[in-house]
């Protein structure tokens, strides 16, 4: 699942993962807020979900707050934090809350694909 308040990220992920989706290697889900993502998880709308890629800075609940909730309730789900700011403090907080990875935007999609397909 991709969690980002910037709706153009959905189009970008669909373009970058077009081949993998077509080959049924991955399924993409999208949420435009942390609250929406958590609701989908609570309602089991994404039972086969293994990885969440989330932005940090979003209106309402931010990605780090969501990370803490996900790791507390769904520890088996891997969470990759994506941010436009290479901020050492947020990186440290993300690791303390159990983030599986911390990447910066613009996203290097070839590297992200490798990480997702290895999971």
List of the chain residues with pLDDT < 50: none
d(CA 104, CA 44): 29
- For the chain, the structural domain boundaries read 2-118
Alpha carbons 100 and 38: distance in angstroms, whole number: 18
Name 33's Cβ contacts closer than 8 Å, sequence gap at least 6.
3, 5, 58, 59, 60, 61
pLDDT (tens digit per residue) in 64-86: 999 999 999 999 999 999 998 88
The pLDDT assigned to 87 comes to 84
Its CATH architecture, for the domain 2-118, is: 3-Layer(aba) Sandwich (3.40)
């Amino acid at each position: 699942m991709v969690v980002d308040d910037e709706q153009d990220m959905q189009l970008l992920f669909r373009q970058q993962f077009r081949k993998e989706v077509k080959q049924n290697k991955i399924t993409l889900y999208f949420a435009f807020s942390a609250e929406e993502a958590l609701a989908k998880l609570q309602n089991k709308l994404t039972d086969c979900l293994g990885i969440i890629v989330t932005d940090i800075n979003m209106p309402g609940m931010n990605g780090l707050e969501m990370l803490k909730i996900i790791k507390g309730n769904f520890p088996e789900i891997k969470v990759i934090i994506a941010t436009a700011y290479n901020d050492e403090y947020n990186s440290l907080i993300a690791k303390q809350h159990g983030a599986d990875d911390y990447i910066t935007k613009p996203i290097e999609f070839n590297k992200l694909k490798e990480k997702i397909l290895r999971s």
